[in-house]
Structure 1
Amino acid sequence: MSGVLITGATSGIGKQLAQDYARQGWQVIACGRNGDVLNELQNKHASITPLQFDLTDFEHTLVMLRELPFTPSLWILNAGSCEYIDDGVMDTKLMARVMQINVIGMTNAIEAIQPHLQSGHRVALVGSIASELALPRAEAYGASKAAVGYLARALRLAWTSKGIEVTCIFPGFVATPLTDKNTFDMPMMISVERASQSIRKGLEKGVANLYFPTRFTWIIRLLGMLPYGWQYRLMSRFFAPKRTKS
């Protein structure tokens, strides 16, 4: 029977993935901070094993992932957060919070699962299409997800000789409690169910880079291929506030 470990499994995409994999007959290790949600998942699906811990706590992460009830062949590192910086006014504490969860928390998980990884395993890192194009207010979130994308590419090179596959996932807008906080338009948003379906299909195919929804992410990727000067002018036209005359 196939097994998967999922971080950030108590909300949004991670929670949906945990339930969908369980329904498909997979053994699931669901990791997260919310014990109530983890217990709810276990009560609904006997094949889900909950692990409650905070990925930003390095020592606790190592302890919790040291001994697992089984060795998964698929590892989905999904836990993440988003905060925005308004008007380009840098907030170092905000930046640190986002980086701590989205980047350091992910590397904590990677270091903790390293002893379990074997040839034939696949590790999926959840990034964001936001890393492909500089956007206003996304200084912290976009930078953190750009780091995830680079990390995935570098690990793919390093782990090739070990037979460990790496996938980086680049979602567009997905309706989750995280995006519920957004106050701006989110074009071509998809449901968490559709996001889970896209991820599961892509990982089954063994793709290295997984983008969805297709149309929206292709538009962002094409814009991201333009020279930086062109990108700046386009983004300024659509997003930058107009200057007021003194």
Structure 2
Amino acid sequence: MSFTKTVLITGATSGIGESLLHQYARAGYQVIACGRNTLKLDAFKKVYPTLITLAFDVTNPEQISDAATAINTIEAIDILILNAGDCRYIDDAKNFDGKLFNHVINTNLSSLGYLLQYFLPKVPQGGQVVFVSSSATILPFPRSEAYGASKAGVDYLANSIRLDLQPQGIDTTLVHPGFIKTPLTDKNDFNMPFLLSSNEAALRIFNGVKARKNYLHFPKRLTLLLKIFAFLPAAIWQQLIKKRSA
């Protein structure tokens, strides 16, 4: 079978990553699906027989190395989508949970260093690297010390590496989704305005990456509102954010 391009997706067994897997597979791409849930990976392979699956934990460098070795025969990864992540909240800031903070930083940010080390060399000239971050980096939110800090790091990493990859003909896309209905957000106990499905998010990412955009943010009803809040005096936007998060 002849494929349009090859795309590797981390966090492909749930949420946005799972929807991206279906989006790219149905569009005729060779998909390399990465995740920890081997049962789901096996189930996906029954639906898409040409699917390549890699089972590993993004917080385990040795497993990432083994996964990269397993696809040595793949000459090029045209689109590298770094999507895997976790969202946990600091419920008691005074009694700060350092272990939880460390876990979120490792999962969402530190893991990217190893993923880039092992997979970025396969991205050729004309290829793309996609970082799925969060609109939570536009403004601070209550209880989001760990999640927000990790995603702010993703933003800086994406915007910085773009400068170094441009001379090599590799484009970088930073994605700021708003609230997306996933197993992670299903646990949220607060209002989530303008909630989108993971399929809607995946379609927007697919189209934006295809258009080779540097920056994607959606839904704009939310992200533009947050950007407007950011221009207001701190005392005002802090009260607004607290009310919205209540």
Give me the TM-score of the superposition, normalised by structure 2: 0.92
Alignment of 1:19 onto 2:22? yes
Q: Let me know the Cα RMSD of the aligned residues.
A: 1.6
8 Å contact kept, 2:30–2:50? yes
Q: Structure 1, unaligned stretches of length 5 or more?
A: 241-246
How many pairs are equivalent?
Answer: 240
- C-alpha separation in 1, matches of 2:166 and 2:11: 26
Note if 1:75 corresponds to 2:80.
yes
Picking from 123, 137, 147, the partner of 1:141 is 147
Q: TM-score when scaled to structure 1?
A: 0.92
Aligned residue for 1:219, secondary structure, equals helix
- 1:1-246 equivalences under 5 Å are 1-68=4-71, 69-70=73-74, 71-89=76-94, 90-235=96-241
Alpha-carbon distance between aligned partners in 1 of 2:7 and 2:161, rounded to the nearest angstrom: 19
Whole-Å separation in 2 of the counterparts to 1:185 and 1:232 = 16
Q: Tell me by how many angstroms 1:237 deviates.
A: 6.0
Q: Could you tell me how far 1:230 is from its partner in structure 2?
A: 4.2
Percent of residue pairs bearing the same amino acid type: 40
Deviation of the 1:117 alpha carbon: 2.2
Q: Structure 2, unaligned stretches of length 5 or more? A: none
What is the CA–CA distance in structure 2 between the aligned matches of 1:54 and 1:22, rounded to whole Å?
23
Indicate the SS of the match to 2:23: helix
Contact 1:19 1:45 in 2 (8 A): no
Q: Deviations over 1:71-92 (max 9, x none)?
A: 2200100000000011423211
Deviation at 1:238, TM superposition (A): 5.6
Shift of 1:210: 0.5
Distance 2:36 2:171 in 1: 27
Question: Which deviations, in whole Å up to 9, do the C-alpha atoms of 1:58-115 show, x marking residues without a partner?
Answer: 1220221135242220010000000001142321111001001000112211111132
2:79/2:123 contact within 8 Å kept: no
